[in-house]
Amino acid sequence: MAGAHINQPVAEIDIEELRFSLRRPRSLFSYGMSLLTGAATVAALLPLLSVLYLLAKKGLQGISLATFTELPPAAMAPGGGVGNAIVGTVVIVFLATLISVPIGILAAIFITEFGPETRVASAVRFAAKVLTGLPSILAGVFAFAVVVAVTGGFSAPAGAIALALLMLPTILLTAEEAIKRVPPRMREAAVGMGATPTQVVSQVVVPTALSGILTGVMLAVARAAGETAPLLFTSLFSNFWISRTSPQFLPKTLSDLMKPTASLAVIIYNFSGSPFENQIALAWSAALILVLIVLVVNVGGQIVASRSSNP
């Protein structure tokens, strides 16, 4: 058929019609829409960039070595830092991760691999989805009731439990999604070689899904690190180092943990409302440090994830 058209006369075409022109409504509309998508992209980026800009501008001014190594200053007193808050945030988030990651990942393995159709699996899925929307202040109230009220005082573990409650659904649901994305034929291959269910999960499913699972963990850690409300009810704040013995930033006994603990989020909350110039400046520095910690955790997680997915 194609050959039949070869000798057809070519219609005359005005070269002007082929030229791009914004005077044609169709072209103008299309061009305008393309511009609009670009503008929307910039608009989406704007809040993030402006927050970062403001943080860098205000936060960098007051930052020095003392910011990392010294205790919060009194009103109008010169110097001082947020050293104990950095330590507190790291300790509380670490404890929260220690609680929520094993539970979240193991539960995700159960609801995908071992009992996806069971009632407990659908109950967990439902509960996790509801918990994702849990206002964080409620996690604090809950931890206050079950930990602070029971142990008789504000403490780092109480804060960690409140944060773990917020991290758990994110970790569980992202791990479930990541595990579900492992191709069934890889599972089949392992089963067909005589791998036990545990070996299938530990040698094939989890390593294959690891980057997705880690992404969920990172998201949860990043969210938890920035939470203030739950910590106000649970670990409160402290103007002192976590330990009385040297090195003071290292918790060494259980009683080091079982007392009010400083955190970056709470110091930002406290100092940003302060009438004193030096404390406000420190709040900015603390905010910048918090964002940087979250950034480092995120980037670190991405690197680990990309390494582990490539053999």
Report the distance separating Cα 153 and Cα 254, nearest Å. 13
Is 179 near another protein (CB under 8 A)? no
Rule CB under 8 A: choose which of 52, 121, 199, 276 binds another protein.
199
Is 195 near another protein (CB under 8 A)? yes
Report residue 243 as tokens: 């330990």
Report residue 100 as tokens: 């929520």
Is 192 near another protein (CB under 8 A)? yes
The residue range among 83-91, 147-155, 192-200, 256-264 that interacts with another protein, by the rule CB under 8 A, is 192-200
Report residue 182 as tokens: 């492992």
Measured CA to CA in angstroms, residue 162 lies from 116, 136, 147, 304 at distances of: 28, 8, 9, 27
3-state secondary structure of 163: helix
CB of 189 to another protein, least distance (A): 4
Rule CB under 8 A: choose which of 9, 152, 183, 247 binds another protein.
183
Is 40 near another protein (CB under 8 A)? no
Listed residue (191, 185, 187) closest to 205, CA to CA: 187
The residue range among 15-23, 119-127, 179-187, 288-296 that interacts with another protein, by the rule CB under 8 A, is 179-187
CB of 208 to another protein, least distance (A): 5
**CA terminus-to-terminus distance, the chain:** 52
CB of 206 to another protein, least distance (A): 12
110 to 129: interface string for another protein, x by CB under 8 A? -------x------------
Length of the chain: 311
> Which segments within 92-226 are labelled E, that is strand?
none
Listed residue (131, 120, 119) closest to 173, CA to CA: 131
Is 69 near another protein (CB under 8 A)? no
Is 208 near another protein (CB under 8 A)? yes
132 to 171: interface string for another protein, x by CB under 8 A? ----------------------------------------
CB of 46 to another protein, least distance (A): 38
Report the distance separating Cα 198 and Cα 261, nearest Å. 40
Report the distance separating Cα 306 and Cα 301, nearest Å. 9
Site for another protein in 232-261 (CB under 8 A): none
Report the distance separating Cα 288 and Cα 290, nearest Å. 5
CB of 116 to another protein, least distance (A): 10
The residues binding another protein (CB under 8 A) are 117, 183, 185-186, 188-196, 199, 203-204, 207-208, 309-311
